[in-house]
């Protein structure tokens, strides 16, 4: 990839605990955010000064949309939380990997201690020829970019 080339968004992959998640169609909501703290003070001449300083970093969440299939790894991970209530056991590290046109990794976002907080099944409609998808909201504690 030449210096200055923009990364492409249509070639990516998602790994759950080092295993590639199949049939991923979309990843959205990848953000990092800090709280903002407003500090008010008065100068020696009585003038009000308002400053903003960074506060605590907020944990994040992403939404993953994928084709609904019979793959067990992703489904088993979701079941750890919703059927067993075992959030601690369900915590996994997830990587979102951007690839270049040659399918080589160009950027990686690692999400630490991630677990599924919401699952949404497919919309069903008679005669609709679209593929069934599932959508999961994944919360995580830390994010790092490489």
| Residue pLDDT, tens place only, 102-146 | 888 999 999 999 999 999 999 999 999 999 999 999 999 999 998
Strands (E) across 68-104 are located at 92-99
Cβ neighbours of residue 57 closer than 8 Å, sequence gap 6 or more: 32, 33, 34, 35
CATH dotted code for 12-145: 2.30.110
Tokens representing 7? 């990364």
Q: What is the pTM of this model?
A: 0.82
Q: What was the pLDDT predicted at 64?
A: 96
Inter-residue contact 43 to 49 (CB < 8 Å): yes
**Percent of residues, the chain, with pLDDT higher than 90:** 64
At residue 25 the predicted structure's pLDDT band, cuts being 50, 70 and 90, is very high
At residue 53 the predicted structure's pLDDT band, cuts being 50, 70 and 90, is very high
Tokens representing 131? 């593929």
At 132, phi and psi to the nearest 5?
A: -75, 135
Residue 82: strand, helix, or coil:
helix
For the beta carbon of residue 92, count every other beta carbon within 10 angstroms: 20
């Amino acid at each position: 990839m030449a210096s200055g080339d923009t990364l492409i968004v249509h070639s990516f992959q998602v790994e759950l605990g080092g295993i590639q998640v199949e049939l991923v169609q979309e990843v959205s909501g990848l953000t990092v955010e800090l709280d903002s703290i407003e500090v008010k003070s008065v100068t020696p001449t009585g003038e009000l000064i308002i400053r903003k300083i960074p506060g605590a970093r907020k944990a994040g969440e992403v939404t993953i949309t994928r084709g609904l299939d019979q793959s067990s790894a992703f489904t088993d991970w979701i079941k750890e939380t919703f059927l067993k209530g075992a959030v601690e056991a369900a915590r996994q590290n997830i990587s979102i990997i951007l690839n270049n046109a040659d399918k080589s990794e160009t950027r990686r976002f690692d999400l630490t201690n991630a677990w599924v907080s919401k699952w949404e099944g497919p919309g069903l409609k008679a005669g609709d020829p679209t593929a069934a998808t599932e959508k999961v909201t994944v919360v995580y504690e830390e994010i790092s970019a490489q």
